[in-house]
Amino acid sequence: MAGMRSRQRMFAAVMRLLLKCLRLGRRRRFKLVRQAEQLWQYGHLCLRSLLYNSFTNGDVVLDSLFEPIYWLVDHVTRWFGVTYTPAWICWHLAYGHWNLIMIVFHYYMAITTSPGHPPQAKDDLTGVSICRKCIAPKPARTHHCSICNRCVLKMDHHCPWLNNCVGHYNHRYFFSFCLFMTMGCIYCSISGWEMFRDAYAAIERMKLLEKERLEVAANQTYYQTPPPTFSFHQRAFHKSVVYLWVLCSSVALALGALTLWHAALITRGETSIERHINKKERQRLQKKGKVFRNPYSYGGWDNWKVFLGVDVPRHWLTRVLLPSPHLPHGTGLSWDLPPCVTKQRAPLLAI
C-alpha cells in the first residue's frame, strides 16, 4: 500500500509539472504573438506617418503613376522639335528604322555566312591549279587566306571587323553593310546638324561663363562664390551631342571612301586582290603592245546586276532595298555566263 501511494504521489507531481509547463508555454507563445503584433502595428504606423500627406488623393496618385509617360513624351517631342510637321516625323521614323534594319541584317549575315571554300578532294575538280600552301584544288578567282589558313572562293580580303573572310557568298552582305552604314551616318550627321550647332554654342557659353565666374570668385570669399551656371547633366549632354556628331561624320567619311572604292571594283568586275593582279597583267601586256580584258567583267551595269543578284526588275526592290538572303550567281567554282547578262563575255586578250 505504501508503495502504491508513493507511485500515485509521484504521478500526480509529474502531471502538475506537465500542466505547469504547458501553461508557461502557452503564456510564452501568447507573449511572442503579442510582441509581433505590436511590432507590426508600430511599423505600419511609422510607414503611414512617413507617407502621410493631407493633400494626397486619387488624382495625385494617378498623376504620379503617369509621370514617366509625361517625361517620355516631353523629351521625345523635344528631340523632334516643335516646328517639324507630321510628314517630317513620319519620314524620320520610316527611314531611320529601315536603315537600321538593313545595317543589322547585312552585318549579321556578313559575319555568319561562310565566304565559300573549294572542296578538298582533288577528284571533284578538274583542270584547276593546286594551292601551294594548303595543297588543295584552287579554282579561278580563289585565293589562300593566311589568317583562316584555307582557300576562299572569289576572295576579296579578310575583314577584322567581321572576323571573317569576304568571299563569294558574303561579298554582297559586306558591301551592303558598308553602304547602309555610310547612309546611316550621313543621315545622322545631317539630321543632328542643328543640335550640334546648339550644343557647340552652349559649350562655348559654358567656357565663357566659367572664365567670368572664376574671375569674380578671385575677388570674393569662398562663401560668396556663385554656383555654377550649368549643371553636370547639361555639360555631359552637350558634350555627348558634339562627340556623337563628330563620330558619325568621321565614320561617314572613312567608311564612305571604302564604300566608293569597293563600288569602283564592282563596276569593273574585280575584287581587291584581282585589282592588283590585273594591274600587273595589264602593264605586262602593254609592254608587248597588247590590251588586257577582264574575263569576269560584263560591263558596268551588268556587273552590278550580277553582284546584287538582280535577274528581273522587281529584284531591285525585293533583293536590294529589302533584306534578302538570296545566294549569288554560280557556285564560285566555275564562272558561266549569268542569266541576267545578255552580252557575251569579252576575250581574255585582245590585240
How far, in Å, CA of 274 to CA of 140, rounded?
11
| Total Cβ atoms within 10 A of residue 12 | 10
Helix axes 58-65, 67-80, angle to 10 degrees: 40
Per-residue CA distances from 29 to 15, 22, 232 (Å): 21, 10, 57
Does residue 340 carry a catalytic annotation?
A: no
> How far from the centroid of its chain's Cα atoms is residue 284's Cα?
46
User: Which residue is catalytic, options 151, 159, 165, 188?
Assistant: 159
Cell numbers for 215, please give them: 574671375
Task: Give Cβ neighbours of residue 63 (< 8 Å, ≥ 6 apart).
Answer: none
Task: Give the separation between CA 115 and CA 155, rounded to whole angstroms.
Answer: 8
Pick from 328, 320, 272, 263: which is nearest to 113 by CA? 328
Which cell goes with 47?
510607414
Q: How far apart are CA 345 and CA 347, in angstroms?
A: 6
**Residues assigned a catalytic role:** 159
